[in-house]
Amino acid sequence: MKINHLTSAEENLMKLFWKLDTFYLKDIMEQHPEPKPHQNTVSTYLKILVEKGYLSTEKEGRIFKYKTALPLEEYKKFILSELAAHFFNGSGKEIVDFLLSEDFLTEEDLQNSYNLKIELNTTKKKEPELEYAEEVLKTKKSKKGKEKKKKKKEQNKA
């Protein structure tokens, strides 16, 4: 089954739907945080999500009962594979390196959660070199001191 991309509004609604699993329109309206969208807006999104394959419907009398058709774990796999393909050359190693370098994940997390007995070669973030900033920020005294030293050298040479 081909998974389609969701807009941010559709994704926010799907987060609620995954929690509910099966629901009616009235359940959504009750569960949705303030400010609540208009019922027609939610109905439109439900229709779109059914068309995209994220939800399925079952008619019960005059109303529809909705059920999530795509599990959250499948959507996570889809999003992660898209992220990997577009930003990390399809490499899981690059993703882990990035997570470690940005402190989203630590070496301890890897060792404790996955019982890994490995030593990671994490690179520390380099402090920016401030050659020009240091030169600009030097106090006047140090500049005057240099000028005095130059004059003394010139006098000694003469």
| pLDDT bracket for residue 90 (50, 70, 90) | confident
Chain segment 6-26, per-residue pLDDT in tens: 999 999 999 999 999 999 999
Mean pLDDT of 116-129: 57
Identify the pLDDT of residue 119: 59
What are the phi and psi torsion angles at 67 (to 5°)? -140, 140
Query: How many other CB atoms sit within 10 Å of the CB of residue 13?
Result: 23
Identify the pLDDT of residue 131: 60
Query: For a pLDDT cut of 90, what percent of the chain falls above it?
Result: 38
CA 151, CA 156: separation in Å to the nearest integer?
Answer: 9
Contact 69, 56 (CB under 8 A): yes
For 8-72, which CATH class? mainly alpha
Q: Is the peptide bond before 35 cis (omega within 30 degrees of 0)?
A: yes
Lowest mean pLDDT among 34-48, 58-72, 75-89, 99-113: 99-113
Mean pLDDT of 117-139: 58
**Any idea where the domains of the chain sit in the sequence?**
8-72, 89-122
Tokens coding 85 = 């393909």
Identify the pLDDT of residue 91: 85
Is the pLDDT reported for residue 63 higher than 60? yes
Identify the pLDDT of residue 153: 65
Cα distances from 123 to residues 3, 16, 61, 129, in angstroms, run 36, 39, 62, 17
